[in-house]
Amino acid sequence: MQALEQTSKDELLSKIKDGKYMLFFSATWCPDCAFIKPAMPEIEAEYPEFEFLAIDRDENIDLAAELNIFGIPSFVAFDDGQEIGRFVNKDRKTKTQVEQFIDELK
């Protein structure tokens, strides 16, 4: 999973304008993020149509606010620069829940 450095919303939208992307917002201090992180390589492998981008919420607090990311871990899906779905809340997320979210995008 590619980790994005600090970026603006415009820079992000330029990067994800072509193709399918899954943004994974997390933070190093977040226990619920640490819970789902070990499952992420397997989730990525199951959904090769998406390029997964890891975004540290603390390094990108303005971006997170602009995208209404108020809980982590959170997932936001884009297709050719357009948001097609989000799994954003403050709850712990299981691998099964993340897979169900991605499956519903198809």
Q: What is the largest CA-CA distance in the chain?
A: 33
Q: Residue 89: what pLDDT?
A: 78
One-letter amino acid for residue 10 of the chain: D
* pLDDT computed for residue 5 by the predictor: 86
Active site residue 33: yes
The one catalytic residue among 4, 12, 22, 30: 30
* Mean pLDDT in order along the chain per 10 residues (106 residues): 87 92 94 93 96 94 91 93 89 90 90
Q: Which domains does the chain have, with CATH numbers?
A: 2-104 (3.40.30.10)
- Catalytic entry in 33, 43, 55, 88: 33
3-state SS of the chain: helix, strand, coil percent to 5?
Answer: 35, 25, 35
